[in-house]
Structures are given as C-alpha cells and as structure tokens.
A and B are shown apart, each in its own frame.
Chain A
Amino acid sequence: MEGRLVPRSEAWAQAVAERAVELVVSALDVNALLDGVDLNAVLDQVDIERVLDRIDLNRLLSQVDLNTIVERIDVDALVEQTDLSAVIASASGGVASDALDVVRSQTVGLDEFIARWIGRLRRRPYTGPPGPPDGLRAKAGS
C-alpha cells in the first residue's frame, strides 16, 4: 500500500513542479531580462587571452580535413569569376599606364590652374571641377 502511494505522490509532485516552471517561464519577459544585462560589462570580465591559451590550435587543425575542403572548392567557377584579362592588363601595362596617368594628371593640373585664374578674374571662388549630377557620373565609362 505504501509502495504504491509513494510513486504516485512523486508523480504528482513532478507534474506540479513542471506546471510551476511552465507558468514561471511564460510569465518571464526574456527581452526585458536581456535588456538589463550589460554585455559590455560581461565581456570586460572575460579574459580572452586566457581563453585562447586554453585552445589547442594544433589539435583543432589536426581534425580538419583540408583535402576535403579543397575538393569542395569549384576552381573552374572561381577562375570564371576572376577578370583575368584585367589582372594581366594591370600587371603588364604598368609603365605605360603610369606615364598616361602622369600626362593626364598634368593636364588636369593645368585645367585647374586656368580655372582658378578665370575664377579670380570673375571674382567667383573656384571650388574644383564642376560636376554634373551623379547620374551622369554613373554613366561615364573609363
């Protein structure tokens, strides 16, 4: 008789406890709780260096199968997405493009010089090359 009563009372007690936990959890406002937590203060107390010291990188890397990762990389797609012609052009046309940049820079400098003087004669301060709206700029190819 006593053996049957004890398990039954335990089951009741457990059901009551579960119900009580459910009620408490549903009554809690988690967002309000999180708002009250000062994460910066928590992070200030974390000793990152000590955490890093405890990480065994060699052991971690030994478990990574690099071959599997490399096999999963689609090299063809990678090459297709790379503008190789642009890379080759920028690497090989160094001297020529440098000379071109210098010539253009000098001419723009002359443009600015003339424009500054014109601005001075007109008593209008020169504030740099006049620019059209952004739309015009966006359509201008190099």
Chain B
Amino acid sequence: MTSPAADAPPSGPPVIRDSLQGKYAGFASRFTAFAVDIGVSLGVFMLALGAISFAATVLTGTDIAWHKGDTWVIIAYAVWAFIYFARSWGASGRTAGMALFGVRVVRDDGTDVSERRAALRTLALPLSFLLLGLGFVGILLGDHRRALHDVIAGTVVIYSWDARAARLRFLSRS
C-alpha cells in the first residue's frame, strides 16, 4: 500500500535523492526525448525543403511545391531521419532530445555505441512501431527497460544527468 502522495501524478519538482546517473531510463523520459527528436528532425527537414524551394524560385523562376504525400519527400525524410538518429547516437550516444532530457544510449556493457551499432539501432527502431507498439513494452516491463530495437542492437538507455547534483545546485541557489 503506497501513500496517496505516491499515487498522485508529480506536480512539482520531485525530491530525487539519488544521482540516477547510469540507471536505466524510464518510459516518459525516453518518449518525450523521442517526441522532441521527431519535432527537431521534421523542423530541420521542412526548413531545408523551404530553402530548396526558395533557391529554386530565385535561380530558375519556377515554384516547387512539396506535398507530404510525395514519395520522394517521404524517402528524403526517411534518409534524413536515419542520418539524424544514427549519426547522433554514433557520435555522442544521444540526440538533441535525449540531451535535453538527460538520457543517452550506451552498449549493454556501458561502453559507447559504435557508428555501426547506432546504424543498426536506427534501422531496428521502426520495428518497435510496426509490431503495434509491442516493441516498446520492454521499456515498461523489462528489468533493463529495453525496447525491441535496444535488444536487437545490444544497447540500453540510461540517465546521464546527475539528479542529486541538480538538487544541490537548486538548493544552493534558493
């Protein structure tokens, strides 16, 4: 039996006494980081399309209209998303969204993710969606909080920020 306070959704900054660094990241952190990444990658992609349209108009005088249903647009976005995720994970273990929410991808033994493994994880990511989202159940139920693409690529997602230090910083300023 947990206390009512424990059942209530968090309304203020929770009191985190542990560092959390190196612990397996939870569903909310991972999902929000992923949502931010989709937003960032889509935003950059649309900016690029706009820039191309503008350049084409200036240089050739013809307007290029992009439609989200165009096959080439979908393929271009898929390629861009692959580059975005694979390069980010391979270079630093985290994307922009993951950096924002203080999580990162590492190999299941704690070492950095190689470019190859990052590419494999990126390719396996759609599988977790294609199985009606069942690929993500492992994050909720698994002891290591791994999604299907984590299992395939041999990776885990961990908290990389020091919650205890953050709390001390907050207390020192208040």
Contacts and interface: CB of A to CB of B under 8 A. Distances in A.
A140 B110 contact: yes
A36 B13 CA distance: 58
A94 B2 CA distance: 36
Nearest to B110: A136
B27 interface: yes
Contact of B32 (A97, A107, A118): A107
A121 B25 CA distance: 20
A131 B28 contact: no
Contact of B16 (A98, A108, A110, A120): A108
Interface-central residue, B20, B156, B160, by most chain A CB under 10 Å: B20
B156 A113 contact: no
Interface of B: 2, 6-7, 9-10, 13-14, 16, 18, 20-29, 32, 100-102, 104, 106, 109-112, 140-141, 143-145, 156, 158-163, 166-167, 169-170, 173
7 contacts: A98-B173, A103-B100, A108-B28, A116-B2, A129-B20, A132-B24, A142-B160
